[in-house]
Amino acid sequence: MNRRHVLSAMAAAAALPLAGRASAFAPETGFVSDVDWLIDQVSARYAYLPERHLDLAKLRALARADAAAAADRKAFLPVLERLVAELHDDHITINSNNDHSPQLVPTGTEIWAEMAGGRAGVTEVRLGSSAEAAGVRAGDEIVSISGQPAAMMVAERRAKTLSAPDPEADNFALRALMAGNHVDQRVFGLRHADGREQAVSLPPYKGGPGGPLVSVQMLEGDLAAIRIENSLGDSDLVAAFDKALAQVKASRGLILDLRNTPSGGDSDIAEPILGRFIKGTHGYQRVFTPAPGKSFPKDSWVKPVKGRGPFTYARPLVVLCNHWTGSMGEGMTIGLDGLKRSITVGTRMAGLCGGTEGFTLPKSQFSVHVPTERLYHIDNTPRESWAPRELVDLARASGADPVMARGIEALKAATQAKR
């Protein structure tokens, strides 16, 4: 659910104090001024700053020192990446990368992992990934990373400017370590639930070749499934989805599979899809922009979606979600639930915070996307902490795709109840 409103460098420079404006284009101080400018924007506009438990003064001092040593834009990128990583928020991204830049989470990761009691546990593995092929499973423990104890590696990668302990900083660090970069092999040790230990070496994640925007599958008993293939930002998706829905118009029930939407997308594309499942106009999520004197929910507003033809699919609907349901995929999931139009089955989602806005740094011209809006389910549950109604524990489940299996069960029950 990204709102890509990029501030111009001219406007940004004009907003700086006179001294800052004068130094913004001096080679020896320009990148330092970028650090100051970005941290000022984070302080003023970042909607989730209270949850990050950060000492911004310490962060500014560390990042300024690094920026002062950056001779050019290429050398400044790793400085900016380290600064952004301190915020330990996967929805804060930079519009540029190199071979050694961290992979985006969840887009570029295959293993979802979390720290609990000092242990690094695998929560979910991406279907069809090299990690799944290597035997990594939910419930496994990651005991080592690059030959070192996992907990030690997480502590080294953890944000250095925390003002208080923050479990999410550890989880962010662990997932970044498991995702790696774009060129280096990832090496780690696993302990499986049965006690077996395994050394795993995975190549860097590479996105697959372009394929269909959606895929359609007919299931038993005149049921159907439509899967959106990480295309919520593609302007051609609406027409492709309409065509897919026409194929399954006669089905008794439908599964909408949103488990491959890690890169998020655009509400102008997602909302017409939501509109195929409702009649009239209804609110599907709540939006709040923090500002001095404003409070939630009094100053929030409800984002509407309008029903759309050529026909409304009114039969039972199940939505599948997982940790690779990201941003706009998360908005669609909570939206269909809030509209009381679906049964949601799966794991927790990516937990990406809010709606983002782009900020272009005056000197380097890198663009950093930062959440400036907080997003909520219609029932006021924060989107990033919402869980599906039928939550699947993959560590205890069996079968090749237990989420799909549970979804089919739920859809069968709903169609039988409809008779």
Question: Residue 343 CB: number of other CB atoms within 10 A?
Answer: 20
Whether 236 and 288 map to the same domain: the answer is yes
Residue 354 lies in a domain: no
35 & 144 share domain: no
- In this structure, of 15-29, 31-45, 89-103, 370-384, the range with the lowest mean pLDDT score is 15-29
Residues 6+ apart with CB under 8 A from 279: 307, 312, 314
State the pLDDT at residue 92: 98
- Same domain (yes/no): 226, 314: yes
Q: How high is the mean pLDDT of the chain?
A: 93
pLDDT tens-digit map of 165-208: 999 999 999 999 999 999 999 999 999 999 999 999 999 999 87
Q: Do both 143 and 177 map to the same domain?
A: yes
Of the three residues 94, 129, 148, the one that is the final residue of a domain is 94
**In this model, does residue 5 exceed pLDDT 60?**
no
Contact 368, 361 (CB under 8 A): yes
Residue 167, domain member (yes or no): yes
Selection from 377, 397, 318, 386 nearest residue 348 by Cα: 386
Radius of gyration of the chain (CA): 22
Model pLDDT, residue 2: 42
- Residue type at 298 in one-letter notation: K
Q: What are phi and psi of 228, to 5 degrees?
A: -90, 125
Residue 184 lies in a domain: yes
Are 335 and 386 within 8 A, CB to CB? no
- Identify whether residues 50 and 169 lie together within a single domain: no
Q: Print burial letters for 408-417: b (CB count within 10 Å at least 16), e (below 16).
A: bebbbebbee
Same domain, yes or no: 401 and 279 = yes
Tokens of 375: 């997003």
End-to-end CA distance of the chain: 36
Same domain, 192 and 232: no
Domain membership of residue 30 (yes or no) is: yes
pLDDT band at residue 315 under the 50/70/90 scheme: very high
Residue 33 lies inside a defined structural domain of this protein: yes
353 falls in which pLDDT band (50, 70, 90)?
Answer: very high
Percent of the chain with pLDDT over 90: 91
**Residue 172: inside a domain:** yes
Same domain? For 82 and 134 the reply is: no
Residue 37 DSSP symbol: H
What is the domain count for the chain? 3
Peptide bond into 382 cis (omega under 30): no
The answer to whether position 374 is within a domain reads no
Residue pLDDT, tens place only, 102-134:
999 999 999 999 999 999 999 999 999 999 999
365 inside domain: no
Give the CATH number for residue 155. Answer: 2.30.42.10
219 and 196 in one domain?
no
Cis before residue 310, ω within 30 degrees of 0? yes
Q: Which of 161, 177, 202 is the last residue of a domain?
A: 202
CATH number of the structural domain spanning residue 403: 3.90.226.10
Considering the domain architecture, whether residues 299 and 409 belong to the same structural domain is answered as yes
C-alpha 171/C-alpha 134 separation (Å) is 23
Whether 265 and 233 have beta carbons less than 8 Å apart is answered as yes
pLDDT above 70: residue 8: no
pLDDT classification of 21: cutoffs 50, 70, 90: very low
Domain boundary among 202, 237, 256: 202
Same domain, 168 and 267: no
DSSP per-residue string spanning 199-251: EEEEPPP-PPPP--SEEEEEEGGGEEEEEE-S-TT-TTHHHHHHHHHHHTTT-
Same-domain pairing of 237 and 280: yes
The answer, yes or no, to whether the previous bond of 212 is cis (omega within 30 of 0) is: no
408: containing domain:
214-349+389-418
Q: Say if residue 27's pLDDT is above 50.
A: no
